[in-house]
Amino acid sequence: MAGLIRQVRGLATLAVCVVVAAFSLSCAHPRVTPPGGPAPPSASPYWIDLQAGWRVRVVTPILKYKSESYVVKTSPAPASESGQGSTKPGSARNGSAVLSLSAGPGFLGIEVSRYAVVRRRRGGVRVTFLSATLHQQRKIKRAHHPIKPLFLLPPQDRWVRILHLIRFSRADHDSAILAASRRELLDALTLRVRSDPSACKSGPLTFCAWVPLGIAVIPQARRRVNGKAEWVSM
């Protein structure tokens, strides 16, 4: 019984982390109206271009009911009166009050998939699927395919960008995957989508797809931290 309780608490904490991470990504990249004029540079606070040698970590909630999409629903739980001096996992402190959150009954676990960003001979990159693991019901097992493949890009698209937007309503999206055969086409597509999200459409030389709400897409690069090589989120 104690092990089961720890597992439930762990999944609840994980669900809260997914929700907070998705919210933080959208808040960190507010939408602004792009000015007219030349195409934007390849680096910006509002998007990130994938670089050779990086990897992309994708966290996808596993939900019992498909109608819930990938959004983890949370509900408030009563805070322990004895925990006034510390904030327990799955809770957040606001002043002197502690807000505890728990995942809804439809949350079963998460899938963590990884993609490699590989250099192309004539410039640009290719994004390839590496692995996926399911963290569900106190077990971790490998999967041959991700639940939601995100990088099914046309072979000619060699410039790949993650664009972040802020949501005006629950129907809007937080981020999109953009790709193009040439960098200038990617910059032009970025301008169109930022000014009009309905312009996120694929064409003969460009690709655009929204990342479903609730899924976290995290580009990572290999960096040395305290003398050790680690994957660090960009």
Q: What is the pLDDT of residues 37-60, one digit of tens each?
A: 444 445 578 899 999 999 999 999
72: three-class secondary structure by DSSP: coil
CA distance 160 to 163: 10
25: three-class secondary structure by DSSP: helix
> Does the structure show a pLDDT above 80 at 157?
yes
Report DSSP letters for 179-211, one per residue.
Answer: EESSHHHHHHHHHHHHH-GGG----SSEEEEEP
pLDDT at 42: 52
> Does the structure show a pLDDT above 50 at 85?
no
CA distance 200 to 115: 23
> Does the structure show a pLDDT above 70 at 30?
no
> Does the structure show a pLDDT above 80 at 173?
no
81: three-class secondary structure by DSSP: helix
pTM: 0.71
Provide the residue ranges of all domains of the chain, joining segments of one domain with +.
2-62+108-233
CA distance 205 to 120: 17
Binned at pLDDT 50, 70 and 90, residue 150 comes out as very high
Binned at pLDDT 50, 70 and 90, residue 234 comes out as confident
- Adjacency order of strands within the sheet including 91-94: 74-77, 97-103, 91-94
Average per-residue pLDDT for the chain: 76
Please answer whether residues 148 and 165 qualify as being in contact, where contact means their C-beta atoms are separated by less than 8 angstroms.
Answer: no
